[in-house]
Structure 1
């Protein structure tokens, strides 16, 4: 079994359920191509699950997308990731995981900061990564469900997220 240290993350003032999700424009990547898109333009088709995850090669990201695929969430609503990784890395992650999702590329972590989910990496001045988080956002950009990790690594409460998806799709 792989051993790793669990590190408590500092408190954060992140976006909460009931608040309006900040809109932004970033490159949105799918398995075929990428283009600049706004978050709000994605809501025209219904609610989305915004999934913030560490860099694409991190084991947390791999596990999260495996769980998303296994639970069939992308069959129920649009799953949209966000991380600091490049569009090229996102294409590779999506292809390897076989999940029908798209991922925003936010290399400078500006959107992560706006959502209050940036995580300063120890020993790397000026480098941030995403704190694990999930936001279920409705067509009006209202956050219906929010989970933000409090330690590194941490994983979402999948059954709770599943129930929130059921509620928003009802």
Structure 2
């Protein structure tokens, strides 16, 4: 059994329900290639579940993506992920997990800062990753649901997210 300490994370100033989700353009990766895409382009086609997660390969990322895949969120909403991992790492994760989701690459964690979900790793000066978070964003880029981890590790209430998706 893997042992780890649960760590309380500081409060964040992240977008909440009713806020306009900040727009951005980043490399969006699928299993074959990547190209720059913006959140506004994705949202124009319908609601988006924007999922921030730790770097590819970390156990929280694997657990989250397996759960999202198994619950088939992509059948009801456009699901896209965001992490500090490179497009190459994203391509491997998509292939290994059999994911039908695309992933934004944010290696500088600028989006994590913008969305208030940056997490400085303990004992690693200057190393930042994304804390787990889920934002449901409608066609106008209005946040309809927001969850951000308050401790490490923590995962979203998947049933709660699904209920919010059903209300979109």
What TM-score results when the alignment is normalised by the length of structure 1? 0.97
Q: Runs of at least 4 residues of structure 1 off by over 3 A? A: none
For residues 50-109 of structure 1, give each alpha carbon's deviation from its aligned partner in whole angstroms, at most 9, with x where no partner exists: 000000011000010101111010111110000000000011111111121011000000
Total equivalences in the alignment? 168
Is 1:75 aligned to 2:75, yes or no? yes
Is 1:86 aligned to 2:86, yes or no? yes
Question: Aligned residue for 2:35?
Answer: 35
Q: Structure 1 residue 21: deviation in Å?
A: 0.2
Q: Structure 1 residue 135: deviation in Å?
A: 0.2
Indicate conservation of the 8 Å contact 2:28/2:104, yes or no.
Answer: yes
Aligned residue runs from structure 1 range 77-116, under 5 A:
77-116=77-116
Structure 1: any 5+ residue segments left out of the alignment?
none
Structure 2: any 5+ residue segments left out of the alignment?
none
Aligned residue runs from structure 1 range 41-52, under 5 A:
41-52=41-52
